[in-house]
Amino acid sequence: MHLVTLLLIAASFSLIEANSIRVNNTGTENLVFILQALGHPPSNGTLIEAGNYTEFLVLNEWEGSFYTYPEECLDHPCDYPVTKISVAFEKYMFGGFYDFLIVDLNKGFNVPASIRSVSRPDCDVISCDANLLEICSEQDQVVDEAGEVVACQTSVLNYQDFKERCPNARVDGGDVDLGVCASMDYELTFG
């Protein structure tokens, strides 16, 4: 009887499929990583030191967003535009189940970001690798208490520049620039 119970438990765990997500901080500063899932408020954040990463699993059919702030935002909340990576796993479309991936600059930019499948090199890398803070007009800049530019708001003035430097990122709500893939493991990179 105990053997049958153990086999049933093992079988039920093997039926649960999950997506593996690795989040890299390739920048030179520590970042607070925020996860915001559908129907759930953003987490307080997890510190990822420069050059390091964190990993976690999410169930199929999960959708949510990932973004980062500088380390000082761990102690007091920051509320300025961020580069966001949004995902929706296992959505039915085109006669099958696919994952939808977006690098979203709709509200603004704070760090370069990308998402790619680890096991499916045939899937596109969706990214904004350019440092858009370098081209941000003064009126769209968001500065911290030290006077450093920490973010850039997306506006009519910089829309074209953002789109030219990050052609496969979503720059406004009307963009349909997204990646479509069917994978079980993804790597997100910020910094």
How confident is the model over 106-163, as pLDDT tens digits? 999 999 999 999 999 999 999 999 999 999 999 999 999 899 999 999 999 899 999 9
Q: Enter the pTM of the model.
A: 0.85
Task: Name the amino acid, one letter, at 96.
Answer: G
Task: Name the amino acid, one letter, at 146.
Answer: A
Tell me: pLDDT of 65 over 60.
yes
Q: Which of 56, 55, 48 is nearest to 31 (CA)?
A: 48
Task: Name the amino acid, one letter, at 119.
Answer: S
CA distance 173 to 67: 18
Q: In angstroms, how far apart are the furthest CA atoms of the chain?
A: 71
Residue by residue, DSSP assigns 28-76 as SS-EEEEEEETTSPPP--EEE-TT-EEEEEEETT-EEEEEEEEGGGGTS
Mean of the pLDDT values across residues 168-175? 83
Q: Which of 99, 30, 108 is nearest to 69 (CA)?
A: 30
% pLDDT > 70, the chain: 88
CA distance 171 to 166: 9
**How much is the pLDDT for 78?**
86
**How much is the pLDDT for 21?**
92
35 in Cβ contact with 43 (< 8 Å): yes
- CA 20, distance to chain mean position in Å, is 13
Encoding tokens for residue 135? 């081209």
How confident is the model over 78-92, as pLDDT tens digits? 889 999 999 998 888
2, burial (CB in 10 Å: exposed 0-12, middle 13-18, buried 19+): exposed
Give me the domains of the chain, ranges plus CATH numbers.
Answer: 17-190 (2.60.110.10)
Mapped onto helix, strand or coil, the DSSP state of residue 18 is strand
Strand partners, 55: 22
% pLDDT > 90, the chain: 60
